[in-house]
Structures are given as structure tokens and as C-alpha cells.
């Protein structure tokens, strides 16, 4: 199988998310980074390229020049820039015939996200978004337990994603409070979209309407840094989502509770290798990642695990699982277009089990619905 080659836009050394992308791709040796436009700052761009052993001639000062020069030399682009550039870069890359893995949010508006989804379909390209928490093995187990009827009919879901990052100085957070770079939302568009996508991924249900109450406690620009959202799903299913960047003392608290009429599921991202199922009339059951019994409940959870039981897996490994699915989809699509049987690109994640255009569009509908609901005095609006 031909090795894939990719370019990265954004993600210079010293940033948070760029190195995560690079580590995730290298974890399963999926593709080679051969070109980049890592920073608007010329010195930082060149320094990052040198550190990553990129040919200086392929370290571009402008992402437009990169796409024009490299479109026939690379397979996909990883976009790790600030929010306001996502749409333009993804659009240009797709139009050039490249597959795209774009950081969230996919765009600043629903219309832009829908345009990208239609363009990817028209061009026959793969468009992925790294909603990281869908890549955790125990989240895949939770999804499959729900799908297999272990907890019965879902009545309610509570999901909390809280950080205290805005209560401490960190220059990397500054741009998230700037409407010109972040867009019209801060916390909802930054981490709220992770929580929303996780709710729909695990439940298999779509949120139909919501009521949002947004606050700005420490954000001088006035963007939301705290949000409480009530959601109605199909039938009588309901969900609550609480997300914040001003939850003092919290690190990265992602806590999921799914309540069915037979049992409930509980997962905490800070203890990611365990999933608890609680029953009304028998003892709680604690599932451990890659334990011998996992395969009978979720083949996806087992295949998404890399290390032996008792060795902790976390954020980077989950991110790598998303890249596994994305790269498998790239190979599958190209083999289909060439009239060949697909060779499996990797064994961790299937080519359909990663967040794509649908999730990117759904998450932008969530952001816009939250902003609309809050602006209307916390009224119910459709998603």
C-alpha cells in the first residue's frame, strides 16, 4: 500500500493541537509530513519546519501557495489554525482535490459547514473533524452497549465538560477570547461542540431542539465562557449539557451519564479506562479497557485499544483512533475510485467510525442554536 503524504497548516511548535495531530499520525505510522505552513510568523514557521526536518523549500509562508504547489504531491491537509481560517483553507484544499482533516469548529457558520460538506461530496473527498472523545475505547463500548440494548430506552443524558483554564494565565487561550479569530462563540464552539457530538455519538440520537443560557464571567470580549444547555431529542429523550472555561480548579472534566430504563452508563475522561454500568436491582458492573470480556460487548472498543490492560491510554491515543478511521477512509475512497479492492489502512478503527462532515455540520447547528436561544432570552429553538 502506498504511504500517504500530508501537509499541515498551522500547528507550530509551542502550540497545543499541532503536536497532538503529529503524534496521533505517527502513533500508527499512518502518513509522512512533507510540507507545511505552520505559522503566520516567518521565523516560527521556519523554525518549526526545521525541527520537523521539512525541506525548507516546502515550508510555505502562505497556505494558498502551499496548496497550489503541493496539491499533486500530497494526499491530505491537516488544518490546525485559528477558527476564522478553517472554512477558507478547507474549501481551497477540497477544491484542489485533497482530503481534509480540519480542527473544530469546522467553520464559523452553518452555511459554511454545509458548503464544505457538499463540496467534499461533489469532489469525492474525505472530510474529517477530530472530536477526540469519540475515539476513546470506553466511549465506543458505551455506544455499543446502548446500541445492543444493555441499558434499555434512554430517558436522559447528562454531560459535563468543564475547565478552569480561563482562571489562570495562558497566552495560548488569548485568541479564543477574540471574536475576530474565534468567531461569535468561545466555550460553546471550542469545547461545547465536543460534548454535543459525544451525546449524539453515544446515544445514536439527534438533538431536535435546545434552550441555552450563556454567560461571560471572565471574558472581556463578551464571548461566552460558560453555558448550560437543555436539549430535547427524539421521542421523550432529554439531555443536559454544562460546559465552562471558568470552572475554577477543574482541569479537563468530561463526565458522561446516560440513564436508561434498565441501567445507566457513567464515564469520566480523567479515568478513561473504566466504564461503569449501574443497575436498579443488582451490583454495579465496572468494565475495564481491553479486559478479556470486552470483545463480546464491543469489537470496536477492543480494536481501539493499543496497550495491555492496566496500562493507561488517553487523549493522544483517542486522537490517533480518529486519524486511523480518517486514513482508512482515504485509502478506501482512492481504491474505489481506482477500481481496486480496498486494502485496510489500519486495524484500529473502521473507515466509517470517525467524525466527518455530518458531525461538523451538526456541531455548527448546535453552536448557532445556542447563540440564537440565548439572544432570544433563553427560549427553545430548533437545531
In the predicted model, what is the mean pLDDT of residues 350-373? 94
**What CA–CA distance (Å, rounded) separates 148 from 380?**
32
For residue range 339-356, list pLDDT tens digits in order.
654 444 444 566 689 999
> What domains lie within the chain, and their CATH numbers?
4-132+316-355 (3.40.50.720), 134-313+363-382 (3.30.360.10)
Return d(Cα 170, Cα 187) in angstroms, integer.
Answer: 16
- DSSP code for 324: H
Tell me, what DSSP letter sits at residue 2?
A: P
| pLDDT of 169 strictly over 90 | no
Average pLDDT, the chain: 94
* pLDDT of 217 strictly over 60: yes
Q: Which residues of 178-191 are buried (b: 16+ CB within 10 A; e: fewer)?
A: beeebbebbbbbbb
The pLDDT > 90 percentage for the chain reads 86
Rounded to whole angstroms, what are the CA distances from 289 to 199, 276, 292, 299, 306? 20, 11, 9, 12, 10
**pLDDT tens digits for 60-102?**
999 999 999 999 999 999 999 999 999 999 999 999 999 999 9
Rounded CA-CA distance 214/185 in Å is 10
Q: What is the percent of the chain where pLDDT is above 70?
A: 95
- pTM, whole model, 2 decimals? 0.94
14: three-class secondary structure by DSSP? coil
pLDDT at 340: 57
Amino acid at each position: 500500500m502506498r504511504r500517504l503524504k500530508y501537509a499541515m497548516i498551522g500547528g507550530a511548535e509551542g502550540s497545543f493541537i499541532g503536536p497532538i495531530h503529529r503524534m496521533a499520525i505517527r502513533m500508527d505510522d499512518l502518513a509522512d509530513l512533507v510540507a507545511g505552513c505552520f505559522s503566520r510568523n516567518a521565523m516560527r514557521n521556519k523554525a518549526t519546519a526545521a525541527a520537523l526536518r521539512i525541506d525548507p523549500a516546502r515550508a510555505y509562508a502562505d497556505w494558498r501557495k502551499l496548496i497550489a504547489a503541493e496539491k499533486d504531491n500530497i494526499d491530505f491537509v491537516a488544518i490546525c489554525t485559528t477558527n476564522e481560517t478553517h472554512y477558507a483553507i478547507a474549501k481551497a484544499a477540497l477544491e484542489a482535490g485533497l482530503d481534509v482533516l480540519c480542527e473544530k469548529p469546522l467553520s464559523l457558520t452553518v452555511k459554511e459547514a454545509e458548503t464544505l460538506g457538499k463540496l467534499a461530496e461533489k469532489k469525492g473527498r474525505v472530510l474529517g473533524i477530530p472530536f477526540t472523545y469519540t475515539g476513546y475505547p470506553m466511549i465506543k463500548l458505551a455506544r455499543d452497549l446502548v446500541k445492543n440494548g444493555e441499558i434499555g430506552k434512554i430517558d436522559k443524558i447528562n454531560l459535563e465538560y468543564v475547565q478552569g483554564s480561563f482562571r489562570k494565565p495562558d497566552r495560548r487561550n488569548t485568541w479564543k477570547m477574540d471574536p475576530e479569530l474565534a468567531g461569535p462563540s468561545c466555550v460553546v464552539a471550542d469545547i461545547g461542540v465536543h460534548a454535543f457530538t459525544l451525546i449524539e455519538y453515544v446515544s445514536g440520537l439527534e438533538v431536535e431542539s435546545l434552550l441555552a443560557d450563556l454567560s461571560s464571567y471572565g471574558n472581556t470580549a463578551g464571548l461566552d465562557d460558560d453555558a448550560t444547555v437543555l436539549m430535547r431529542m427524539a421521542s421523550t429523550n432529554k439531555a443536559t449539557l454544562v460546559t465552562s472555561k471558568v470552572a475554577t480548579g477543574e482541569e479537563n472534566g468530561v463526565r458522561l451519564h446516560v440513564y436508561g430504563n434498565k441501567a445507566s452508563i457513567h464515564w469520566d475522561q480523567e479515568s478513561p479506562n473504566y466504564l461503569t454500568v449501574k443497575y436498579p436491582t443488582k451490583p454495579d458492573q465496572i468494565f475495564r479497557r481491553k479486559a478479556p470480556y470486552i470483545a463480546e460487548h464491543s469489537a470496536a472498543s477492543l480494536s481501539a485499544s493499543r496497550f495491555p490492560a492496566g496500562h493507561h491510554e488517553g487523549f493522544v491515543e483517542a486522537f490517533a483512533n480518529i486519524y486511523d478511521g480518517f486514513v482508512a477512509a482515504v485509502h478506501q475512497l482512492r481504491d474505489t475510485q481506482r477500481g481496486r479492492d480496498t486494502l485496510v489502512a489500519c486495524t484500529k478503527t473502521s473507515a466509517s467510525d470517525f467524525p466527518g462532515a455530518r458531525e461538523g455540520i451538526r456541531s455548527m447547528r448546535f453552536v448557532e442554536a445556542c447563540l440564537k436561544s440565548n439572544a432570544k432570552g433563553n427560549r427553545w429553538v430548533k437545531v
